Structure 1
Amino acid sequence: MPASREDLFAFLSASGISVSTRDHPAVFTVAESTAIHEEIAGGHTKNLFLKDKKGSIFLVVALHDAEIDLKTIHQKIGAQGRVSFGKPDLLMEVLGVEPGSVTPFALFNDREEQRVTAVFDAAMMEVDPLNFHPLENTATTTVTRDGLIAFARACGHEPLIVAVSGN
């Protein structure tokens, strides 16, 4: 059973990772979240749930306006051949979230099986703080970039920090 927002917050607190969260109406796309960007300071993001030809799964996290070339990203992230978007049922199975709620905080639901490779765009990691959904798209949680890395590691994931956006 996927973790709840409360489970996530308890884990963050127990891990000594400070966050702040703001509730808002549900947003399903980066375009829908534009108004929230003005209300919440920090880098706003997008998350791509991808899989390669061999079934390896990647969660690519970048700034909301980053341009990512899906035809060449496999070369940057170590995928076997071109990648495609993972299907909603695989997303729920592996990360425990619905489309529109994809977030690096969903690595919390992949602590045991370790099926996902977390990829954080290098340009995003230059911004502090960063904003993500807390497993649901009705809120935004702000965390420092160091807190994000500490969270991923506490979930057993060593994130790849790679320049996936731009040229």
Structure 2
Amino acid sequence: MQAPTEKLVYDLLEELQIPYERLDHVPITSVKGLEFTLPGQQVKNLLLKNKKGRKYYLVILHDEKSADLKHLAELLGESRLSFASEERMMDVMQCIPGTVTPFGLLYDKDLKVQVIVDKAVDQDLTVGFHPFVNTTTLNIPFKGFVRFLEYANHDFKVVEL
């Protein structure tokens, strides 16, 4: 598979006929202390692993919301969840901290990652994701995101975080 690049994402969105709005900005590695707002429904993506490190969860929630990992572990039937290390992020999704994106699911050929979407994310709006770089956000319709997930052979589970 091709290396993770912005061009890969743009080409794929075009192939899947998923419209997007491109928003360029200063690098975003965390939403904490961010001095500007982007239009549309903005989310953050967390890559978590279970205690044994065999299962991963890509958790998508509103950018201003915090994830209660203990509560989420209970919802998912896991004893404990923790953040994936940089090495594991690269291994599973070809992403580094600060650039975690659902587009990295293209590299999850062993289907180790379960996508979890917070119930508060409005599926009738757009969602904003990085195209492997944290200086651009692409707002895409949630329905387009679902189309991408189908293409990447992933489904998603909605939970109340």
TM superposition score normalised by structure 2: 0.90
Q: How much identity, in percent, do the aligned residues show? A: 29
Structure 1 counterpart of 2:132, which letter?
L
1:124-162 deviation line (CA, Å, top 9, x unaligned): 134611111111101010011111111111110011122
Is the CA contact 1:77–1:162 (under 8 Å) kept in the aligned structure 2? no
Is the CA contact 1:97–1:136 (under 8 Å) kept in the aligned structure 2? no
Q: Which range is displaced more, 51-60 or 127-136?
A: 127-136
User: Offset at 1:51?
Assistant: 0.4
1: CA distance between counterparts of 2:41 and 2:52?
32
2: CA distance between counterparts of 1:27 and 1:86?
19
2: CA distance between counterparts of 1:105 and 1:21?
15
Is the CA contact 2:48–2:83 (under 8 Å) kept in the aligned structure 1? yes
Structure 1 counterpart of 2:69, which letter?
L
1: CA distance between counterparts of 2:140 and 2:60?
14
Cα–Cα, structure 1 residues 91 and 20, in superposed 2: closer, same or farther, change >3 Å?
A: same
2:137 counterpart SS class:
strand
Consecutive unaligned residues of structure 1, counting only runs of 5 or more, are: none
Q: 1:117 aligned to 2:117?
A: no
Equivalence for 1:84: 82
Instruction: Name the count of aligned residue pairs.
Output: 159
User: Offset at 1:46?
Assistant: 1.3
2: CA distance between counterparts of 1:84 and 1:66?
17
Equivalence for 1:64: 63
Consecutive unaligned residues of structure 2, counting only runs of 5 or more, are: none
User: Offset at 1:123?
Assistant: 0.6
1:119 counterpart SS class:
strand
Q: 1:104 aligned to 2:105?
A: no
1: CA distance between counterparts of 2:88 and 2:35?
28
2: CA distance between counterparts of 1:9 and 1:127?
22
- Structure with bigger helix share is 1
Equivalence for 2:10: 9
Residue pairs, 1:13-32, within 5 angstroms:
13-32=14-33
RMSD, aligned α-carbons: 1.6
TM superposition score normalised by structure 1: 0.87
2: CA distance between counterparts of 1:136 and 1:33?
17
